[in-house]
Structure 1
Amino acid sequence: MMPQLLEVWNDTVDPRHLIGGIAIAVGTAVPAYLIADHLFATGGDEALGHSYALLVGIVGCIVGAVVSGLLFKPKRVITTSAADTRNRQEIIDEVVEEYGDLGDPRDLGPGVQAEVRALGLFDALVDNHEARIREKGGHK
């Protein structure tokens, strides 16, 4: 049975692991701060000793985060699906209806064309543009 998962700061977590991670962070940061504060306070300048103790406490937080990251693996499930060109064309048609003609993608600069090609949209945009020209009875 899958444990109950929560969403915290746009991440999926197991509540037991979240509590464990908090306990580890507190268990490393607080003692590190208190011990460092005691050691630095006896050394002279008290304000400077507190500052150094805070830095040691932050290092304790980082150590706690690393330990938690090693103990508690992510709970994300990433899925991918194949693109459906029919749906892509329908979406392009909806965008054109809402915002107007997108123009000829071949008129775009080389950098933009490369990005559009990388997204797999170039041919669909060319087809859409040519279909709109045919509908209007115009020429390019």
Structure 2
Amino acid sequence: MPQLLEVWNDTVDSKHLVGSIAIGIGVAVPAFLISDHLFTSTGDAELGHSYALLIGIVGCIIGAVIAGILFKPKRVITQSQADTRNRQEVIDEVVEEYGELGDPRDLKPAVQEEIRALGLFDALVENHESRSKGAQL
């Protein structure tokens, strides 16, 4: 089992982290040193150092891309189906705290579509109808 570490709120394999650092150094430092030598020997030394720094930054980006391709993320994402009963309980709590929500079918089509995408439209309609029947009694 790999030794996993948490770095900047992300889970990483310690061997892959060391490998990524080595790749970054192995690409960026030679890119900087070679370009610094080439740019400073052909003209203005200050401008040559600045361009060499830019090449070194590009080397860092290239190293990060290589490491990203070689070492895949270690995250495991699981999704579970929401319990509609819990939705109704939450909707009831919202109604108790903030007041009646109204009929979601009266909303603009774009808003209805967004509520459907969240999977809440049917639960809101059911809640509205049950409250309407309760008020009529």
Instruction: State the TM-score, normalizing by the size of structure 1.
Output: 0.87
Matched, 1:112 2:117: no
Distance, in Å, in 1 between the alignment partners of 2:49 and 2:98 is: 59
Q: CA deviation at 1:13?
A: 0.9
Identity of aligned residues (%): 74
- CA-atom RMSD, angstroms? 1.7
The more displaced of 89-98 and 66-75 is 89-98
Q: Distance in 1 between matches of 2:76 and 2:39?
A: 46
Deviation at 1:101, TM superposition (A): 2.2
Q: Distance in 2 between matches of 1:73 and 1:58?
A: 23
The CA deviation at 1:96 is 2.2
Question: How far apart in 2 are the matches of 1:102 and 1:23?
Answer: 57
SS at match of 2:16: helix
2:92 corresponds to 1:85: no
Partner of 1:124: 123
CA deviation profile, 1:44-84 (whole Å, cap 9, x unmatched) = 11222112111211111112112211221110111111222
Match in the other structure for 2:48 = 49
Cα distance 1:12–1:100, how it changes in 2: closer, same or farther (>3 A)?
farther
> Shift of residue 130 of structure 1?
1.8
CA distance in structure 2 between the partners assigned to 1:21 and 1:97 by the alignment: 53
Please give the secondary structure, in 1, of the residue aligned with 2:6.
Answer: strand
Deviation at 1:93, TM superposition (A): 1.6
**Where does 1:1-140 land on structure 2 (aligned, <5 Å)?**
2-137=1-136
The separation in 2 between residues aligned to 1:98 and 1:14, in whole angstroms, is 46
One-letter code aligned to 1:136: A
Residue ranges of structure 1 left out of the alignment (5+ in a row) = none
C-alpha separation in 1, matches of 2:37 and 2:73: 37
Q: The residue matched to 1:78 in structure 2 has which SS?
A: coil
Structure 1 ranges of 4+ moved more than 4 A: none
Q: Return 119-128 or 10-19, whichever deviates more.
A: 10-19
Q: Secondary structure in 2 aligned to 1:12?
A: strand
The TM-score normalised by the length of structure 2 is 0.89
Q: How far does residue 126 in structure 1 lie from its aligned partner after superposition? A: 0.8
